[in-house]
């Protein structure tokens, strides 16, 4: 009985999905059918009556092509968990120049609105994905749409045929109902292979996106390095350098007072010794901020445990097995964890945190892709999000250099959970 109920439920769900696929795939043909109907109503004999029809159909196709493809990707991702990247070209930021004009990557415009409009249309016409979407709107109705139309068509035949007095019509209606019931659980599944085959980005588009991504990552890395160098220079200038200059002046003064006022000279030398110790401490802290020695000597896990011990939070660090990564990856993850812990203290007002480091082995077509997963969870007030120019956005960009990702779950009221995932082979 349960199997029958399950099959009936699957048939109903399949029938509904088939109707959705038919509706979406037939939107563009419906526009052309409406345009042809208008032309016939105006008069077939007048050749000029077909001009607005062609214009209407072309504009409607261009306007609906991208929404139709997006709906197909959404349906396939929702029903089958198959993600099909869109591969659309990204628009560059519109920048206002010193002359007052706006630069959109293609031309200069007087207003920001004109620059955005011009940019949008230029990208739309030059993007290969636009022509891919137009091709798909012509292929989908005769492939996925035609197959998905079998259950609704069978139901329509059954409704029209079973009520007829003729036995042959009733037989046709029964056959239509059988075809609809039998094909309902499967007819909609044709949408997935068709969408994967014709909506996925071409190798040229994937390569162009990868080049753009690497260019952005290089720019982010350059900016981050420049900011780090400025920070080091500022810390040296304001801290150790100023103390060392004062140390030199104290020693020079003590040298002059050695013969005339030995007590004052000794006091100055004691101050100089204290200043030297303070300078040494600041230099050590600066070196630890650049590259903690424990990170180089004992690895990421021990460095994170040392960080947790120094933190005012009640932090617990857990790891499956000892991990040893490439130094750049270890450094990025260490400072990422340090930033998340600082945010939990400063912004979330958390009292406890949990840091977990695990391995992630994922089978791919090319073998086993080994990566590291770092989860940082706190009991703060939540509400953390990625803002443009914010610390979490910078952390996401730093991880992207290593093809890493950052996922944040932070509802209002907490808790906040941040997951950093980085693929790497040196585990």
What are 290-310's pLDDT values in tens digits? 566 677 777 778 788 887 887
| Number of residues that this document lists for the chain | 427
What is d(CA 61, CA 30) in angstroms, rounded to the nearest whole number? 10
Q: Is the pTM of this model over 0.75?
A: no
Please check the confidence at residue 368 and state whether its pLDDT lies above 50. no
Range 8-17, long-range pairs (CB < 8 A, 24+ positions): 10/185, 11/181, 11/184, 11/185, 12/184, 13/185, 14/151, 14/184, 14/185, 14/186, 14/187, 14/188, 15/151, 15/152, 15/155, 15/180, 15/184, 17/75, 17/79, 17/148, 17/188
- To 5 degrees, how large is the angle CA 117–CA 114–CA 56? 40
What is d(CA 377, CA 385) in angstroms, rounded to the nearest whole number? 14
Determine the pLDDT at residue 217.
61
Please check the confidence at residue 365 and state whether its pLDDT lies above 50. no
Output 426 or 209, whichever has higher pLDDT.
209
Tell me the three state secondary structure of residue 318: strand
φ, ψ (nearest 5 deg) of residue 352 = -135, 150
In this prediction, residue 38 has a pLDDT band, given cuts at 50, 70 and 90, of confident
In this prediction, residue 319 has a pLDDT band, given cuts at 50, 70 and 90, of confident
Determine the pLDDT at residue 364.
45
Out of 119-128, 216-225, 364-373, give the one with best mean pLDDT. Answer: 119-128
Average pLDDT rounded to a whole number, residues 254-277: 72
What is d(CA 128, CA 4) in angstroms, rounded to the nearest whole number? 48
CB distance 86 to 46 below 8 Å? no
For residue 280, the number of C-alpha atoms closer than 13 Å in the C-beta half-sphere is 6
Output 26 or 410, whichever has higher pLDDT.
26
Of 152-156, 336-340, 380-384, 415-419, give the lowest mean pLDDT range.
380-384
Hey, which residues does 417 pair with through a beta bridge? 377, 409
Beta strands in 313-424 (DSSP E): 314-319, 352-364, 367-378, 405-409, 416-423
CB distance 410 to 385 below 8 Å? yes
């Amino acid at each position: 009985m349960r199997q029958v109920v399950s099959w009936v439920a699957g048939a109903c769900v399949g029938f509904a999905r088939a109707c959705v696929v038919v509706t979406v795939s037939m939107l563009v043909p419906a526009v052309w059918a409406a345009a042809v109907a208008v032309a016939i109503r105006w008069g077939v004999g007048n050749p000029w009556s077909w001009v607005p029809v062609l214009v209407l159909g072309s504009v409607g196709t261009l306007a609906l092509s991208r929404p139709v493809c997006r709906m197909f990707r959404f349906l396939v991702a929702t029903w089958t968990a198959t993600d099909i990247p869109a591969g659309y070209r990204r628009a560059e930021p519109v920048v206002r120049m010193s002359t007052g004009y706006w630069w959109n990557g293609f031309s200069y415009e007087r207003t920001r609105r004109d620059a955005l409009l011009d940019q949008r249309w230029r990208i739309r016409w030059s993007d290969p994905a636009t022509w891919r979407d137009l091709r798909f709107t012509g292929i989908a109705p005769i492939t996925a749409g035609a197959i998905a139309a079998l259950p609704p068509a069978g139901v329509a035949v059954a409704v029209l045929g079973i009520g007829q007095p003729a036995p042959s019509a009733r037989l046709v209606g029964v056959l239509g109902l059988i075809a609809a019931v039998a094909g309902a659980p499967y007819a909609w599944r044709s949408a997935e292979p068709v969408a994967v085959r014709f909506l996925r980005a071409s190798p040229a588009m994937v390569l162009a996106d990868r080049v753009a991504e690497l260019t952005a990552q290089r720019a982010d890395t350059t900016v981050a390095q420049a900011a780090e160098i400025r920070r080091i220079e500022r810390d040296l200038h304001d801290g150790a350098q100023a103390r060392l200059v004062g140390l030199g002046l104290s020693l020079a003064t003590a040298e002059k007072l050695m013969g005339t006022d030995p007590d004052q000279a000794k006091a100055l030398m004691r101050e100089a010794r204290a200043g030297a110790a303070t300078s040494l401490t600041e230099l050590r802290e600066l070196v630890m901020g650049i590259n903690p020695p424990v990170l180089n000597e004992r690895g990421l896990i021990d460095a994170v445990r040392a960080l947790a011990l120094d933190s005012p939070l009640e932090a617990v660090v857990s790891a499956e097995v000892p991990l040893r990564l490439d130094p750049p990856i270890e450094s990025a993850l260490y400072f990422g964890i340090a930033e998340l812990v600082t945010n939990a203290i400063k912004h979330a007002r958390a009292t406890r945190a949990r840091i977990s480091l695990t391995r992630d082995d994922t089978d791919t077509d090319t073998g086993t892709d080994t990566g590291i997963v770092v989860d940082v969870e706190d009991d703060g007030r939540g509400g953390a999000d990625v803002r443009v120019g914010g610390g979490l956005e910078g952390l996401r960009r730093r991880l992207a250099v290593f093809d890493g990702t950052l996922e944040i779950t932070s509802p209002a009221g907490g808790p906040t959970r941040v997951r950093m995932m980085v693929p790497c082979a040196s585990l």
